[in-house]
Amino acid sequence: MYTPSQKGVNWTRKENEVLCVTYMKVSENCTKGISQKRDGIWKQVERKYIEGFNGNPPNARSFESCKSRWQKFLFPDMNKWHSCITRVERRLHSGGNHIDEQHLAKYMFREDMKGKSFDFHSCYDLCKGWVTFDQPPQEIFGPPPVQRNLPVSLEDDDNMIATDNNSTPTSSRDPIPRPMGRNASKKKQIKDQEKDRKAFEDKLLARMDRLAEENAKVEETKATREKMKEDRRERDRDEATLMLQTVDYSPVSKEYFDDRKRKAIQRLRARELFPNTNTDSTSNYYRPQMQSDEDEF
């Protein structure tokens, strides 16, 4: 059973088509003509709309709802789509197929409607034969006529007017680019993804190189500190060895510690003469040799 209109229920495709057919039948009713009031027309549209669903429409629509749907949504969008189709046919003439026309018309519709797409193709097919749509203005393709000021030569009476034949007039309107196809769009998307992946890998490798350099610097600093600690401990041991008094030691012990003292003195002098040279006993470097007590002068 038909009930009053419920606000907020979206129109379906079938409802849009029935509304278009109903409006066409009411507008072609020649018995009442155009003398009837507008509200009376839309009330008749509401009654015919309900009859189009055999008295049981899926959603209840009042005559205000039908009027708003036609005047604010269906007719403006179909009128704009008709304008785009007409402009495309003028441009392509016989040089393009139906698919090219549809793609270019969709592109023009989105440009004019700020990104909105046309969703009433079935309604337009029903209405394009009898609804009077607005015709778009005539567009001029090609270079417009250019009028130039011709220089006048006062010295030569025979050739008073000189024309510039080498000038080329420029077009006042750039051609609309052809929309990108599905395959080209997929290829471009894959290419962009590959480019982003390569840029991410390059950035990651550069970051890993910086981390490796920083770790190498840390390890080098750590090794330098360890070497300085070891040199300090060796110097402390040499100084402690030189402080030993070996007078009361046995001959074997005295000979052992005297030898250690001579080596400690060599290392201390090597540090004074060559501060940046490794003083390890196994390294090959020049160091002065002290004369033994047993050497003869």
Domain locations along the chain: 13-127, 180-234, 244-297
Task: With a cut of 70, list the residues of the chain below it in pLDDT.
Answer: 1-8, 29-39, 93-96, 131-132, 134-176, 274-297
Given a contact cutoff of 8 angstroms between Cβ atoms, the answer to whether 49 and 61 are in contact is yes
For residue 219, what pLDDT is reported?
Answer: 93
User: What is the phi/psi pair of residue 152, to 5°?
Assistant: -105, 125
**What span, in angstroms and rounded, lies between the C-alpha atoms of 136 and 148?**
31
Torsions phi, psi of 21, nearest 5? -65, -40
Contact between residue 75 and residue 125 where contact means Cβ atoms under 8 Å apart = no
Q: What is the pLDDT of residue 86?
A: 86
Position 134 scores a pLDDT of 66
Gyration radius of the chain's alpha carbons: 50
Q: By three-state DSSP, how is residue 152 classified?
A: strand
Cβ atoms of 290 and 265 closer than 8 Å? yes
